[in-house]
Structure 1
Amino acid sequence: MSDFADSPAVRRLDDWDRERLESLAAEYDTPLYVMDLDRVKENYARFSTAFPDAHVMYAAKAHTGKAVLEAVLEVGGTIECAAWGELQRSIDAGADPNELQYTAVNPPDHDLDYATDLAADNPGLTITIGAMDTLERLAERGYDGRIAIRINPGIGTGHHEKVATGADAKFGIPYERVPEVADRVREDFDLVGLHAHAGSGVLTDGLEDHCRAISRIGEMARRVGDEDLEFVDVGGGYGVPYREDDEPLDLEKTSNMVREAVGDLDARLKLEPGRYVVADAGLILSEVNTIKEAPDTTVVGIDASLATLIRPAMFGSYHPMLNVSAPEREAHEVTVGGPVCTSADVFAHDRPIARPERGDVVAIGNAGSYGYELASQFHSQPRPAEVALEDGDARVVRRRETLADVTRVERESGQ
């Protein structure tokens, strides 16, 4: 693992092998997701090395592809899940159910049915609750096993208000109610930990607010008796630099600040990186199909869309872009958009890119996190293929959908 941990702290879009990317686009067509599993392993190992005494779990919601989960497990990782599908996919990838943690957020009945059935044969499974209702529903199902309480610290952090979960009433038990809930859990369940997640996409300059939330978690752990807890889970949210001039997360500083913020504990520290592990391990390859001169800009149409990558439309997110086919051309400021019929389907406005021409392959970087996970069939577009790179080889880990795949559930229902 030490070789992985010594890898560069950030992988820029320029660091990818352009000739390899062009060959992948030619062989597998576009739009195409590409995931570098070696980079996934490097990122997980580097993060774990920065927290040598902590338990580091990969947050599966960032990318639940089987190949990615297998890569995390290969380097000794465990997995945190937020839904029953993630539990099942983790098990399919080879995870021991006794090492999984399920963080329930307003869970539907089928989620709790699945989790409690799984725990009946795997008592090491941990269920994290964020509401008393969830505890009562678990009791109704005869569950009396391992429980962690999700705290709402009242402090949200991250790159966008829609991911600042620490200040959102949807997530976690209100801070001052935690001791009362802890007493209730201890009556009929095994209280093993406390959990919180302040937000997502935190870089070094956002650590102060992030650690203010973490300090509240540590305070509450001592208040409810951390000597009786197995762990204190401060969540994930650790970011990567999306813009070319942003600095990578300073892991040494992060580790020191997190440990100082949480304070002295008998319980073990637990963290849940997701984005940090997979974001810069993935990109999208897309082909230019339209060049249109408009009064105020040049519009470059590509075959990827918000159905392929919704983050720019949902969060206003910046993703680096590179003309893989001709990086030596003079850069022109262009607007890059896809084929979906909405003004939201734009990846970049006035972005300097080596002058695109029809047929060029464009790469969209940092797409490994919440990329394929949020892909859709909007406009009845089949979802793209995904290729994994590992040890110099490439293989398809998700085939490209066909139009028959898009309509299959209707046809199978007799429509």
Structure 2
Amino acid sequence: MTTQKYFPHVNGKMFAENVALSNIAKQVGTPFYCYSNTAISQNFKDYQQAFSTALTNQETLICYAVKANGNQAVLSTLAKLGSGADVVSMGEIRRARAAGIPANKIVYSGVAKVEPEIEYALNEGIFQFNIESEPELELISQVATRLNKIAAIAFRINPDVCANTHAKISTGKAENKFGVPISKARQAYNRAASLPNIKVQGVDVHIGSQLTQLTPFEEAYKRIAQLVIDLRSDGHDINVVDIGGGLGITYNDEVIPAKEDYAAIAKKQLGHLNCKIVVEPGRSLLGNAGILVSSVVYVKTGEERQFLILDVGMNDLIRPSMYDAFHEIIAVDISKTALKTYDIVGPVCETGDTFAKGRQVHESQSGDLIAIMSCGAYGAVMASTYNTRMLAPEIMVKDTDFAIVRPRPNYDEVINADIVPSWV
């Protein structure tokens, strides 16, 4: 079960911090995403504390992985706490900069950077490009030379380590599309050192998302440490190690290592290198800091089971359909009813629009509110208007206050985004 610290039930009614979810629903309507500002802030501070304590004599930079949730209210919250940003597109650089994150705290990842994106990043003066391939290196050198800029780079190294996570979010095995094989790393760095307007400064590794064990991190970092030693012996001034993110959260019954233990692994394997350590948490900052609140539309009795049909669909939360992901599902009001078993589904015309099968939830009826937990990361950011369904608004709560931080669009806005050519 996920922690209910920031989304507790008080006298049987569910709150976000100190705001009743039923009050938000009355004013905003359902479905809606709801984020706890306090949870986001505390999660970030926990990372700061863990790494500053473990690596007392080394500089660390925590770069939030913007892909997890790019809402400006989220980014602004983290910017004020001193966060950097791990980005994968020009759009995410723009989001980070608009939220107040300095360019010199931005690392640019991603497997298919194109020329306009590279140019924009160079003009902004970002901290580092995490390079995925030698063709990308060549292009960055060409663009930097044309602009008379210096591009600071690290290669993303694929260490061929199994992350023991879902196949679709594992990124560090030899068969994955990400990074330069560790067996070819020294050759790649030698090529980088020979190119104009390239500053070789770091090594990057990211083996996957939603990791629940420290052993894969330790194995990857051990291999990276040896690589840094080898690269230095080749004459490269390696002074940055980007250790990626990937620490998981509790969706159901996962036991997640403490951030202090994660930082201790970094110290154990990398501390002797005296490098600046860059950490890229995403899910572990936002995942359990957000929920998705919906209403029951119908309770339907089928041939063999009962269905709880919600007003939230796979277009709002794709993870269960895409990854077979488990999300805890809780009635907002648990004060009056006993548990009952349902298949919990949405309104989209797809059998895959299913959030859970045979799940126990407090007995519900039409109009009751249901909370889908652990949706702060890879929820709203992956949503779409499939079936011409409006995107769910996003709400942020802090103590007794809440604000709409992304409104629900209207039908005219969505439909008028299309342009009918004159010859139709």
Contact 1:10 1:240 in 2 (8 A): no
Change in Cα spacing, 1:262 to 1:297, as seen in structure 2 (3 Å) is farther
Contact 2:63 2:105 in 1 (8 A): no
What's the secondary structure of 1:335's corresponding residue? Answer: strand
Q: How many pairs align?
A: 400
How do 1:85-234 residues align onto structure 2 when only pairs under 5 Å count? 85-118=91-124, 122=125, 124-141=126-143, 142=145, 143-167=149-173, 168-187=175-194, 188=196, 189-203=198-212, 206-225=213-232, 228-234=237-243
How do 1:276-355 residues align onto structure 2 when only pairs under 5 Å count? 276-355=284-363
One-letter code aligned to 1:291: V
Change in Cα spacing, 1:368 to 1:230, as seen in structure 2 (3 Å) is same
Distance 2:421 2:43 in 1: 43
CA positional deviation for 1:131: 0.4
Distance 1:55 1:159 in 2: 25
**1:15 corresponds to:** 8
What's the secondary structure of 2:418's corresponding residue? Answer: helix
CA deviation profile, 1:222-269 (whole Å, cap 9, x unmatched): 1111982221011000111001x3334322322223322335212122
1:249 to 257, 262, 273: 257
Verify: 1:388 aligned to 2:393, yes or no.
no
Q: Could you tell which deviates more after superposition, 96-105 or 32-41?
A: 96-105
Alignment TM-score, normalising by the size of structure 1: 0.91
One-letter code aligned to 1:64: G
Change in Cα spacing, 1:388 to 1:13, as seen in structure 2 (3 Å) is closer
Contact 2:332 2:370 in 1 (8 A): yes
What's the secondary structure of 1:389's corresponding residue? Answer: strand
Q: Could you tell me which runs of 5 or more consecutive residues in structure 1 were left unpaired when the two chains were aligned.
A: 1-8
**1:74 corresponds to:** 80
**2:365 corresponds to:** 357
Distance 2:420 2:266 in 1: 51
CA positional deviation for 1:361: 0.4
**1:4 corresponds to:** none
What's the secondary structure of 2:408's corresponding residue? Answer: coil
Verify: 1:33 aligned to 2:42, yes or no.
no
Distance 1:10 1:114 in 2: 41
Contact 2:158 2:182 in 1 (8 A): yes
Contact 2:141 2:151 in 1 (8 A): no
Alignment TM-score, normalising by the size of structure 2: 0.89
1:238 to 242, 247, 252: 247
Identity of aligned residues (%): 26
What's the secondary structure of 2:340's corresponding residue? Answer: strand
Higher helix proportion (structure 1 or 2): 1
Contact 1:35 1:283 in 2 (8 A): yes
What's the secondary structure of 2:357's corresponding residue? Answer: strand
Distance 1:389 1:381 in 2: 25
One-letter code aligned to 2:110: A
CA deviation profile, 1:144-174 (whole Å, cap 9, x unmatched): 3211111011113153100110114311011
Change in Cα spacing, 1:219 to 1:408, as seen in structure 2 (3 Å) is farther
Q: Could you tell me which runs of 5 or more consecutive residues in structure 2 were left unpaired when the two chains were aligned.
A: none
One-letter code aligned to 1:59: A
One-letter code aligned to 2:43: N
